[in-house]
Amino acid sequence: MAHMRRANPLPGATPCPRPKKPPPLSCAAAATPTPAPAAAKAGSWKDLCSLNAWVVRDYRRLVDSVGALEPALRRLSDEQLKAKTAEFRARLARGETLADVQAEAFAVVREAARRTLGMRHFYVQIIGGAVLHDGCIAEMKTGEGKTLVSTVAAYLNALTGEGVHVVTVNDYLAQRDAEWMGRVHRFLGLTVGLIQAGMKSDERRASYRCDITYTNNSELGFDYLRDNLSRNKEQLVMRWPRPFHFAIVDEVDSVLIDEGRNPLLISGEDNRDAARYPVAAKVAELLMEGVHYTVELKGNNIDLTEDGLAHAEIILGTDDLWDDSDPWARFVMNALKAKVFYRRDVQYIVRDGKAIIINELTGRVEPKRRWSDGIHQAVEAKEGLKIQADSVIVAQITYQSLFKLYPKLSGMTGTAKTEEKEFLKMFKMPVIEVPTNLPNIRVDLPIQAFATARGKWQYVRAEVESMFQLGRPVLVGTTRGIDIPQGGSFRAFSLGPSSLGLLAKAAIMAKYVHKSERNEWSFSKAKSAIAESIETGQTIGMEKLQERLAEEFEMYPLYDAIGLAYLGVLRDCEIHCSAEGTEVKKLGGLHVVGTSLHESRRIDNQLRGRVGRQGDPGSTRFMVSLQDEIFQKFNLDTEWAVMLISRIMNDEDIAIESNVVVKQLLGLQINAEKYYFGIRKSLVEFDEVLEVQRKHVYNLRQVILSGDSESCSDQIFQYMQAVADEIVLLNIDPQKPPKTWNLAKLLDEFVGLGGKLLDESFKGIQEENLQSALEQMHGSSSVKADSFTLPNMPIPPDSFRGIRKKTSSMMRWFAICVDDTSKKGRYTNTVNLLRKYFGDFLIATYLNAVQESRYDDAYISGIEREVLLKTLDALWKDHLVNMNKLRVTSAVNVRSFGHRNPLEEYKIDGCRFFISMLRATRRLTVEALLHYWSSPMESDEIFNTEDQ
């Protein structure tokens, strides 16, 4: 164990035998950047061998072209500059491409930003914009101005008039960017829209029809789902039939990867099982881990032991916990998951009698979100809260499936390179690292590893104290975001009302100190905000202040909300608020302390990225303990390590800096990334099955909603022919003679389908009549497509009048003749004649009933559209429930033990379910329409949509 050594907590400090409190770090040591290795310099072998470097070098030609246009554009008046937009659009209309106008468009946006915002795009921001335009991910370090980068790509792609979506992670950022960057676009004559929570349909519709629309990812997804639940085209808010054209996704890794495991759901309510949740919660309280159930932290799985199963069955008074007719198993397992995995103030908070989800990635509460599959109700039962209605899925989509709908997609973030392979494999988007405008001089200090959490937190406290003595601001990162300690490991740092009030405004202060992008905070304004928050903290009391804090933190991104740290700000706000943060820079800049390793290196890099913006000084330090959750989650046995370190170092709380230890820790982190990538990949693969089905259903809905009355009628005729085909093909075999066919059942099913409308026509018709007709028709190939009948059988009503209806009849006969999906045989031609006869009879009877009703065309079209949509939506909802059950059911997963692939089994079963759903949709639609027109006055409820 010679490789282990006690760590000096900070460079420049004097070693001490057992440092419980590290001595202060000198400002000079903290401010001195680590020299860049020779290999990283321009023209180095690393650059020559790097594909990324070659790509960036290729973009420099565009940068040169943009720069060459700048002097001429500077001489233009505002009106002349604005006129460039109309000029570009005219050139595109004449056949030029976006590539032809790219350099000029970028130069125009750069000049417009200089005039409206006082901001001129750096050359690296031009490169970033080109990367976005090419449908790639631009990785740009924090503070490099990604928000401004998006303007050039958004403007260029908006010139086509098809709409550009700039997608952020929350409403605050969407509004900020729409107001701020929107000034550039509006100056150039483009329209800018904004989507926010709580907006009405008319406002949303107007925003989506703008040239550039700013929105957040959840609002975008829910608008898409709601549009596909609409009952008429007047309710649609997006640009149909092509709602998606080009999107720029900010924090693309957060949206497509971190949020990738959480599908967007629109749910209905179901109160039938509300009483079961409290009972299951009591059962879970009585069961003990290790005796009645086992826990796998890695996969968030719980398994009942034999004793646990018997114990639960005795408590509930059931013979079989897994009995489908009395399904207690799901409620008990959810109650156990709520007990073990869903922790109050970690995964959720309780406020106003409700369990509100905390987004673990951003630290924000999400009051509109609920866990699905009964988990949220299980948490409510655990906390003794009122059980909200259970959810029945009406519509759902994952972010991966949503953003795949864009013909062109791009994204930007500060941390995507670690997931480069995933983006390329799953989304076909390469990650391009855009160089920084100024060299990064941040100092990343070595990771310190501790055997115990107690030792880690002692060093965290000592590190913060040492920074406080230097006057340097500190940002302390945790796995929940902001940490306002009230005891426990940080008992010595419990904060009073004044400190909490100060922290409430620290997020805004952090933006000012670290070169706020908008740079609107003056020293006096910042000082006034701090004074106000301190006064507030002293007057309104602790509980009210904490509620206000929670509201404040919802408005800001994760690490901005962490702000200036616990003690650094308290010392002297004037040091931190001096113009351009000069004093802070002299003191060494911001110091970041990471208190654990995340399951992804990318999240840790986000924390590191808060330091060193635009060449600013700063430093970072990560401290981890072998008792951290990540090590427990991945079943790393750390007890031996704690004991061994305690014996060797004579103190288990000592920090260890060892390349071997650090390499092991980072290796575990990489394994965690691979594990979660596997989960996301599996979810995407499973969702691709549903994605194909969803596209089919939603495309059909749009045809029904947006099409004219003729297209709607054609859809109904196709359904009727398909239903007639199904009845015929299920009762005959083209390889056997007609005398073996089940003609009696065929007639019964067909007549039963039409109810009163067909009863009269087929009264007295028996199996013998149809058998005789087939014998006479056998061998006949002469068919009149618009007036075909069978001998001795009822003659269809003469309803195929007019060119369109005759053409429709002929096309259906042609489709029957070329159909290669049905079984073939000696009697195929006879079978086709039967399909033609019954299909024509059904359609002609329907048309006759509609004509005799004497309703106007608008009313008839409305009835048809309503019946089509109601039936499709009802069966699609049931299909979603079945598909979700199929995904999680043990029947699919258990087959893997028989060397059968669960995904393949899911595809097979899912395909079968979908075919059954479509068949049922056609059948029920036809039955509903025939029932309606047999007695319209008795069937007005079909057209009643008030319950929707």
* pLDDT: which is higher, 417 or 201: 201
How far is the C-alpha of 299 from the C-alpha of 799, rounded, in Å?
A: 62
Task: Collect all residues with Cβ–Cβ distance below 8 Å to 247 and sequence separation of at least 6.
Answer: 164, 165, 166, 167, 403, 406, 408, 409, 410
* E strand or H helix that includes residue 465: helix 453-470
Preceding omega of 557 cis (within 30 degrees of 0): no
- What is residue 564's predicted lDDT score, i.e. its pLDDT? 33
Q: Which amino acid is at 383?
A: E
Kindly list the distances between the CA atom of residue 684 and the CA atoms of 334, 805, 943, in Å, as whole numbers in the listed order: 24, 44, 38
49-267+400-433 matches 272-388 in fold: no
- Which overall architecture, per CATH, does domain 49-267+400-433 show? 3-Layer(aba) Sandwich (3.40)
How far is the C-alpha of 85 from the C-alpha of 64, rounded, in Å?
A: 22
* For helices 767-777 and 743-754, angle between their N-to-C axes, nearest 10 degrees: 110
Tokens of 229: 């639940």
Candidate from 310-314, 617-621, 925-929, 935-939 with smallest mean pLDDT: 935-939
What is the gyration radius of the CA atoms in the chain, in angstroms? 34
Tokens of 378: 């299980």
CATH number, domain 272-388, options 3.90.190.10, 3.40.190.10, 3.30.930.10, 3.90.1440.10: 3.90.1440.10
Tens digits of residue pLDDT in 590-615: 888 888 888 778 888 888 887 877 77
Tens digits of residue pLDDT in 493-522: 333 333 444 444 444 444 444 333 444 545
* pLDDT: which is higher, 474 or 150: 150
Kindly list the distances between the CA atom of residue 362 and the CA atoms of 138, 347, 423, 603, in Å, as whole numbers in the listed order: 21, 12, 21, 10
- What is residue 330's predicted lDDT score, i.e. its pLDDT? 82
Task: Quote the DSSP letter at residue 268.
Answer: E
Q: Strand runs (DSSP E) across 447-567, as ranges?
A: 448-450, 474-477
Residue corresponding to tokens 């025939």: 930
How far is the C-alpha of 54 from the C-alpha of 155, rounded, in Å?
A: 26
Tokens of 868: 């089509």
How far is the C-alpha of 190 from the C-alpha of 214, rounded, in Å?
A: 13
Average pLDDT over the chain, rounded to an integer: 78
How far is the C-alpha of 327 from the C-alpha of 309, rounded, in Å?
A: 14
pLDDT at 696 over 70: yes
pLDDT at 933 over 50: yes
Beta strands 365-366 and 354-358, pairing class: antiparallel
Percentage of the chain lying above the pLDDT 70 cut: 75
- Mean pLDDT value of segment 581-589: 73
Domain ranges of the chain: 49-267+400-433, 272-388, 497-584, 720-854
Compute the residue count for the chain: 948
Candidate from 161-170, 685-694, 757-766, 883-892 with smallest mean pLDDT: 883-892
Task: Quote the DSSP letter at residue 519.
Answer: -
Task: Quote the DSSP letter at residue 590.
Answer: E
How far is the C-alpha of 787 from the C-alpha of 842, rounded, in Å?
A: 13
Tokens of 582: 């000069």
Q: What is the DSSP string of 799-862?
A: ---SHHHHHHHHHHHHHHHH--SS---TTHHHHHHHHHHHHHHHHHHHHHHHHHHT--HHHHHH
Kindly list the distances between the CA atom of residue 143 and the CA atoms of 40, 71, 111, 146, 514, in Å, as whole numbers in the listed order: 21, 28, 21, 8, 9
Closest CA to 27 of 466, 423, 356: 466
Closest CA to 845 of 748, 751, 763, 908: 751
**Sign of CA pseudo-dihedral 6, 11, 17, 23:** negative
How far is the C-alpha of 907 from the C-alpha of 189, rounded, in Å?
A: 49
How far is the C-alpha of 873 from the C-alpha of 856, rounded, in Å?
A: 26
Could you give the 3-state DSSP secondary structure of residue 267? strand
Tens digits of residue pLDDT in 779-826: 555 555 556 778 888 888 876 665 566 777 788 888 888 888 888 888
Task: Quote the DSSP letter at residue 118.
Answer: S
Task: Collect all residues with Cβ–Cβ distance below 8 Å to 547 and sequence separation of at least 6.
Answer: 351
pLDDT category at 168 given cuts 50, 70, 90 is: very high
Closest CA to 558 of 173, 256, 222, 145: 173
Closest CA to 724 of 812, 851, 848, 805: 812
Q: 181, 151 in Cβ contact below 8 A?
A: yes
Tens digits of residue pLDDT in 71-121: 999 999 999 999 999 999 999 999 999 999 999 999 999 999 999 999 999
pLDDT at 485 over 50: no
How far is the C-alpha of 623 from the C-alpha of 456, rounded, in Å?
A: 6
How far is the C-alpha of 328 from the C-alpha of 681, rounded, in Å?
A: 31
- What is residue 806's predicted lDDT score, i.e. its pLDDT? 72
Report the predicted TM-score, pTM, of the whole model to 2 decimal places. Answer: 0.76
Q: 113, 90 in Cβ contact below 8 A?
A: no
